Every structure is written in structure tokens, then in C-alpha cells.
Amino acid sequence: MKSQVHARLAAIAIYTVGLWVAACSGLGTAGDDAPENATMKPSVTYLHLLGHTPMFTQLDTRQLRWTIDHSREWEARPGTVVAACAEHGTGRNDDIWILLDGRWQVEEKGRTHPAGHADPGKWFSGATTRGDCRLVTTELSYVMKITRADMDSMLARGFAFDGHLREGQAYYASLFGRAAQ
């Protein structure tokens, strides 16, 4: 009996270490949150750093913690495709990607539209675009994914994103010729 318990505990420990190694190496555990490439790996979101990121400077500590609990941060190497306008033919990707640090650009029809973490294009959603485009990092960057449902919940809770979202919607409307959703 005792040896069975020890064997089970050892198996659980080995499995847990395997998951941890895979997560740290950027393999296997990214799942639905990251693009299907090895150029993004999970990253830790630090409260004090998030509070100094332009998109989040107006949030209080409680709201910052809620954001951390309802989002996922990734480290992305240069050239990483973070998101696409229409993913895998399944319709529009309406999750919100936020550039925490670094630079990215929207690529469409041979044109590039760069943005940094303090620019109007500091957030991206496939729902704000039209046609064939993609969001690509241009240097080592840290990006955060917030699902549309969680963003809607944040807005309903009074998170001060309205100005940032309006600014970005106007930016994307100028690029894609229609108001962003």
C-alpha cells in the first residue's frame, strides 16, 4: 500500500515537472492562447510593471490584479505572428492583444503599420480589421491576450480603457476604412 502511494506521488511529480519544463521551453502547453509557433513563450505579468504600461495606468491595484487573473502574457521574439485578421477560416478573431513592451506592426496588402506600446495601435483585435492581415512583432516584445468576454467584463466593471479603445478604433478605422468594433 505504502509503495503504491509513493509510486503515484512519484508519477504525479514527474508529470508536473514535465509540464513545467514544457511551459518554460515554450513547447506543448501554450494551447489556444498563443499562435502555433515556437516564437512565443509564456511570461509572468508583474503588477508593478503592468501599472506603468500606458493601457493600464488608470487602473487601481484591484483592477490590475483582476486583469492579471483574466489574461495571459507572452514573450514574443521578433517576427512572431501574434494574431491574424481571420484565423484559420473560422471567422474573425475578436480577442484583444495588448502590446506591453516592444514593437509590432500590422501587415496587410504589402503595407506595414508599426506601433509601440504608447501608440494608438498598442492594442489589436481581428474584429477591428478587414481582409487578409496579420500582427507581427518587430523586436523582442511582451504581449497580453485578453479574451473578448473578459474585456467586456472589464468594461462592465468600469475599467478605464475607453479612451485607449477609442483611440485604437480610430487608428484601425483609418487603416481599414471602417469603424472598429
10's grid cell: 512519484
Rounded CA gap, 177 and 181, in Å?
12
Model confidence band, residue 124 (pLDDT cutoffs 50, 70, 90): very high
Looking at the predicted structure, is the pLDDT value of residue 130 above 50? Answer: yes
Mean pLDDT on 129-142: 90
The answer to whether the beta carbons of residues 75 and 30 sit under 8 Å apart is no
Supply the pLDDT for residue 163.
94
Rounded CA gap, 107 and 109, in Å?
7
Cβ neighbours around 17 below 10 Å, total: 10
Beta strands in 29-92 (DSSP E): 40-43, 72-76, 81-84
Q: Kindly report whether the global pTM for this prediction surpasses the value 0.85.
A: no
Which tens digits make up the pLDDT trace of 15-74?
A: 333 433 334 333 333 344 555 556 899 999 999 999 999 999 999 999 999 999 999 999
Backbone angles phi, psi at 163, to 5 degrees: -60, -45
Instruction: Assign a CATH topology to domain 34-176.
Output: Jelly Rolls (2.60.120)
The answer to whether the beta carbons of residues 118 and 168 sit under 8 Å apart is no
The structural domains of the chain, with segments of one domain joined by +, span 1-30, 34-176
Which tens digits make up the pLDDT trace of 153-167?
A: 999 999 999 999 999
Supply the pLDDT for residue 133.
87
Supply the pLDDT for residue 38.
67
Which tens digits make up the pLDDT trace of 76-114?
A: 999 999 998 865 444 557 899 999 999 999 998 889 999
